[in-house]
Structure formats: structure tokens, C-alpha cells
């Protein structure tokens, strides 16, 4: 996708924040551009990492969510506040790369499953036919007679008819008995200085587990699902999948680090906050480019794109250690949202809140309609609530809508159904006006 197409796609779900959309669109397109460069120069082109700065509820996380779907590349979102400096209890920063590798493997596996599904279904169907219509047991070395050939032809004809019925689903209710297997992992836990998760070790994989087989009776449709899974697993080239996943993680992986401001200490501040600098210093080699050991091999981070985001209340991106600032050359300020933005957010995105509630009421046979002045009033209430209490941005719309519609959501469908609810500005003011006036209610309801 071109940058314009990426921004256009983001516009379908996110209102405003054009600068942030342009920045991530260019960064995403640059991944593709780098792949077109030949020779040693490709290795020299580093991604331009981005910091998104803005208050909560303005679209930072939503941009990340939509970017993940557009990228069709390994993508992981982590919270910087969950990480601790090496040597302390908590997750170490390298775990984000291990998680990225797991995402890449799942992505490549899913593509392989799609490609192999048809062949796996054919092989599973033949195995099911063997269960439904077992072939005759012939002792080794027994000569084949004309009667045997005639019987074989009749059996093949019967098998073809059974195959047609199997494909149509006529046999789904029948029962078959088949052997199922499952690995039983070890119950021993091992704890290192950083814990099992940080070590990147899967004890079951390391020790192999114990293969347990048993015979079970099940319906044909359940047996078909199990056999398809077995056949797809057998058809997969796992070494090729790992190699492709590693290449994708290294060349097109994206790591979104949310709440980066939580590991920043305000300028000149002393005390426990100073220890947050340790997390930044641990992040530095990952962002600069290093080799991280995973249970699937070494993953290089030189060309992984890092997008960080934070509100930076009481702090600033300039409070990051200088070395880390230098690794995030693109800084984008996201603007606070006002009543006009809320009006658009309520109506325009494909997953707009009014459309969501419309679908919820429709499931009970009720149509709910909002007049323009009702939408404007909802936006104004959300804006005033943000001004008088904590500003949580567009997330306030969810709490306002929940408070407004709660009585109807409770009454439907017991009190009424197959009806039309028209919500206008007067109804919104009546239902939410008292809450806005009462400071205690405003604090806990809105």
C-alpha cells in the first residue's frame, strides 16, 4: 500500500491526527522500499523509529491496532511499564523480541495452513473412509484371483459413493473409533534469575514430553477436524517456517511500545524514579540493533521498526536518556480532542459507537435512532466531563453512552421489543444533566 492508501485506510477508523497517520504510513511504506534496494546499501538503511506524544484517549493505541492489521507483518504491542531493569523481578526488555518471534511464527504458520488446507482435507477424507469402510486384511504373499479383482472393483465403487456422502455431510452424525495422541509435558518448573519466560525456554519442547495415545469414539465431523489438523502438521516444513518467520521478524517486524513515559523520570527528580533509567538503558541496545537469543534461534533487531507512545504528563520526551532519544528521530504530537471531534467519532468511523449500539439493540429487534442534536449533546457532555474530571479523551464517549442507554439496555426485550427508539437532545439532557451537576455522581459514573 502507498502512504496515501494507508492514511485512507486509517481514516476509516480514526478521526483526525493526520500527522501521526502520515508518519506511520511513511514508516510502513519505507519497509517495502528498503526491500527493493539491492546490495550492501539495503543493510545500511535503518528504520526511522517514531514517538507518538499525546494525552490519553486521542488515538495512539488505536493507530497501533489498525497499523497491525494493515501491516500484514509481525506486530506486537507492549507496555513499557511492565518491564524492569535486568536483575529485578519482572519482564526483561528482550522478551518483546521473543514475543515478536512467536507472532511471526504464528503468522507464517497460518499462511502455510491456508495453502495446505485443501491437500490436508483430501488426506483426512481418505483416512476417514478407511475408518468408515475398512479395507480387507490380506495375508502377505496371497495370490490375487479374479474374484479378488471383482471384489476390489465393487469396494472401490462403494468407497466412491461413500466419499460423496462424506463430502456432503451426510455421515457427520456417524461414530468412528480412532487413535488420538497428545503430548504430556513435564510438571517440573525451573526458575532462573529472570524466570522461565525471560530465559526463553520451553521445558516441554526441551525434554520432548511423553507421547500418549488412546482410542476414542467420536462423531465423524469431530474426527475430520482432528485428522485435518494432524495432516496439516505433517505437511508443514517446520524448518522452512522458522526460517521465514525469523526473516519476517527481522526485516518487517514492528514493535509498539506503549506508555514509554512511565519509564521516564522528570528532570532533576531523585529517588526511586531514577531506577527507571535502567529500563531505558536496557531498551537502548534492542532499539539500536542487537542479537536476541530465543528458543527458535537468534533474532537481529537492526531493522525492526519501533513505535513508542506516551502521554508524558509532567515529563517530556526530552527527559528520555539522550541515547534513546536519538534512536527515535521522528516525534509526532497528537492533538487533544474537542466536541467537534467527538461528534465525528460518534458517527463516521466504520466501528463508530452509535453503530455498535445500533447493532446491539437490533439483536433484540429494537431500532435506535439518534437525532443530530442528540449526537451534539452527547459530545458536549463528554467534553464537559473531561474538563471537570480526568481528561480521558474519546474513551469518555463510552462511559457517557453507557450511562445514557443503561435503562433501555436493561428493559429490552422484557418491557418492549420490535420498536423504534428515537433519542433527541432533550432526552440526553434529561438523563445526563443531573449527573453532570452532581460532582460525586459525575466522578463515579462519567
Residue-wise pLDDT for 100-153, tens only, equals: 999 999 999 999 998 999 899 888 888 888 877 777 666 666 676 666 666 667
Cα torsion for 402, 58, 24, 356, to the nearest 10°? 20
- pLDDT for residue 90: 53
Q: Once rounded to an integer, what is the mean pLDDT over residues 267-291?
A: 76
Do 286 and 92 contact (CB within 8 A), yes or no?
Answer: no
My answer on whether 93 and 119 are in the same domain is: no
User: How much of the chain exceeds pLDDT 70, in percent?
Assistant: 83
- In this predicted structure, the answer to whether residue 216 has a pLDDT above a threshold of 90 is no
- pLDDT for residue 354: 94
Q: How far apart are CA 166 and CA 124, in angstroms?
A: 11
Question: Which grid cell sits at 73?
Answer: 507483518
Placement of cell 474426527 in the chain? 223
Do 116 and 234 contact (CB within 8 A), yes or no?
Answer: no
pLDDT greater at residue 366 or residue 212: 366
Q: Once rounded to an integer, what is the mean pLDDT over residues 282-299?
A: 91
> Of 195, 217, 244, which residue constitutes the final position of a domain?
244
Strongest mean pLDDT among 20-29, 176-185, 186-195? 20-29
Residue 16 within a domain:
yes
Backbone angles phi, psi at 257, to 5 degrees: -100, 105
Residue 372: give its domain's CATH number.
1.10.8.60
My answer on whether 254 and 236 are in the same domain is: no
My answer on whether 303 and 351 are in the same domain is: no
- In this predicted structure, the answer to whether residue 445 has a pLDDT above a threshold of 80 is no
Do 29 and 6 contact (CB within 8 A), yes or no?
Answer: yes
> Of 244, 259, 289, which residue constitutes the final position of a domain?
244
Residue 404 within a domain:
yes
Q: Are strands 50-53 and 305-310 parallel, antiparallel or unpaired?
A: parallel
Residue 153 within a domain:
yes
Residue 142 within a domain:
no
Question: Which grid cell sits at 273?
Answer: 524514579
CA 443 to chain centroid: 32
Do 53 and 308 contact (CB within 8 A), yes or no?
Answer: no
My answer on whether 163 and 220 are in the same domain is: yes
User: Which of 429, 444, 445 is closest to 381 using CA atoms?
Assistant: 429
Question: Which grid cell sits at 150?
Answer: 471383482
Q: How far apart are CA 186 and CA 203, in angstroms?
A: 7
Do 307 and 24 contact (CB within 8 A), yes or no?
Answer: yes
My answer on whether 119 and 96 are in the same domain is: no
- pLDDT for residue 52: 92
My answer on whether 36 and 65 are in the same domain is: yes
My answer on whether 403 and 281 are in the same domain is: no
- In this predicted structure, the answer to whether residue 194 has a pLDDT above a threshold of 60 is no
Q: Which residues of 292-331 are buried (b: 16+ CB within 10 A; e: fewer)?
A: bebebeebebebbbbbbbbbbeebebebbeeebeebbeee
- Per-residue pLDDT band at 439 (split at 50, 70, 90): low
CA 107 to chain centroid: 11
- In this predicted structure, the answer to whether residue 272 has a pLDDT above a threshold of 60 is no
Q: Count Cβ atoms below 10 Å from residue 146 Cβ, excluding itself.
A: 7
Residue 141 within a domain:
no
Residue 14: give its domain's CATH number.
3.40.50.300
- pLDDT for residue 167: 81
Residue-wise pLDDT for 379-395, tens only, equals: 999 998 888 888 889 98
- Per-residue pLDDT band at 191 (split at 50, 70, 90): very low
My answer on whether 401 and 299 are in the same domain is: no
My answer on whether 125 and 222 are in the same domain is: yes
Domain assignment of residue 257, given as a range: 3-103+248-333
Counted domains in the chain: 3
- In this predicted structure, the answer to whether residue 186 has a pLDDT above a threshold of 70 is no
My answer on whether 283 and 348 are in the same domain is: no
My answer on whether 312 and 375 are in the same domain is: no
- In this predicted structure, the answer to whether residue 326 has a pLDDT above a threshold of 60 is yes
What are the CA-CA distances from residue 159 to residues 127, 133, 134, 162, 215 (Å)?
Answer: 12, 7, 10, 5, 24
- Per-residue pLDDT band at 263 (split at 50, 70, 90): confident
User: How much of the chain exceeds pLDDT 90, in percent?
Assistant: 33
Q: Once rounded to an integer, what is the mean pLDDT over residues 400-406?
A: 91
> Of 313, 333, 353, which residue constitutes the final position of a domain?
333
- Per-residue pLDDT band at 434 (split at 50, 70, 90): confident
User: What is the Cβ-side half-sphere exposure of residue 253, based on CA atoms within 13 angstroms?
Assistant: 30
Amino acid at each position: 500500500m502507498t502512504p496515501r492508501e494507508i492514511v485512507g485506510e486509517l481514516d476509516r477508523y480514526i478521526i483526525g491526527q493526520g500527522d501521526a497517520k502520515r508518519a506511520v504510513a511513511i514508516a510502513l511504506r519505507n519497509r517495502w522500499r528498503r526491500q527493493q534496494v539491492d546490495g550492501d546499501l539495503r543493510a545500511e538503511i535503518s528504520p526511522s523509529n517514531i514517538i507518538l506524544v499525546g494525552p490519553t484517549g486521542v488515538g495512539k493505541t488505536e493507530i497501533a491496532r489498525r497499523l497491525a492489521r494493515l501491516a500484514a507483518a509481525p506486530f506486537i504491542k507492549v507496555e513499557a511499564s511492565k518491564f524492569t531493569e535486568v536483575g529485578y523481578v519482572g519482564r526483561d526488555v528482550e522478551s518483546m523480541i521473543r514475543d515478536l518471534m512467536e507472532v511471526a511464527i504464528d503468522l507464517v504458520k497460518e499462511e502455510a495452513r491456508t495453502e495446505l488446507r485443501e491437500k490436508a482435507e483430501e488426506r483426512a477424507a481418505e483416512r476417514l473412509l478407511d475408518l468408515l469402510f475398512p479395507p480387507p486384511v490380506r495375508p502377505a504373499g496371497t495370490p490375487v484371483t479374479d474374484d479378488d479383482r471383482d471384489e476390489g472393483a465393487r469396494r472401490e465403487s462403494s468407497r466412491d459413493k461413500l466419499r460423496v456422502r462424506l463430502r456432503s455431510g451426510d455421515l457427520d452424525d456417524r461414530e468412528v473409533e480412532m487413535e488420538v495422541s497428545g503430548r504430556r509435558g513435564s510438571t517440573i518448573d525451573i526458575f532462573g534469575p529472570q524466570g522461565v519466560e525471560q530465559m526463553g525456554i520451553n521445558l516441554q519442547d526441551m525434554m520432548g514430553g511423553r507421547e500418549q495415545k488412546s482410542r476414542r469414539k467420536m462423531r465423524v465431523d469431530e474426527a475430520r477436524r482432528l485428522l485435518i489438523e494432524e495432516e496439516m502438521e505433517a505437511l508443514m516444513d517446520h524448518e522452512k517456517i522458522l526460517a521465514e518467520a525469523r526473516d519476517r521478524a527481522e526485516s518487517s517486524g514492528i514493535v509498539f511500545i506503549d506508555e514509554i513515559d512511565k519509564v521516564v523520570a522528570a528532570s532533576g527528580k531523585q529517588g526511586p524514579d531514577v531506577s527507571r533509567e535502567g529500563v531505558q538503558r536496557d531498551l537502548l541496545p534492542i532499539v539500536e540493533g542487537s542479537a536476541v537469543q530465543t528458543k527458535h534461534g537468534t533474532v537481529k533487531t537492526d531493522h525492526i521498526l519501533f513505535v513508542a507512545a506516551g502521554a508524558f504528563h509532567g515529563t517530556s520526551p526530552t527527559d528520555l536518556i539522550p541515547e534513546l532519544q536519538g534512536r527515535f528521530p521522528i516525534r509526532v504530537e497528537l492533538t487533544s480532542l474537542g466536541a467537534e471531534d467527538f461528534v465525528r467519532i460518534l458517527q463516521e468511523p466504520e466501528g463508530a459507537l452509535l453503530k455498535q449500539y445500533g447493532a446491539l439493540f437490533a439483536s433484540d429487534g429494537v431500532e435506535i435512532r439518534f437525532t443530530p442534536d442528540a449526537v451534539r449533546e452527547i459530545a458536549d457532555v463528554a467534553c464537559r466531563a473531561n474538563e471537570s474530571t480526568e481528561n480521558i479523551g474519546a474513551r469518555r464517549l463510552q462511559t457517557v453512552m453507557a450511562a445514557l442507554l443503561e435503562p433501555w439496555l436493561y428493559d429490552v426485550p422484557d418491557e418492549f421489543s420490535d420498536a423504534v427508539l428515537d433519542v433527541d437532545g432533550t432526552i440526553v439532557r434529561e438523563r445526563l444533566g443531573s449527573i453532570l451537576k452532581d460532582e460525586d455522581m459525575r466522578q463515579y459514573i462519567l
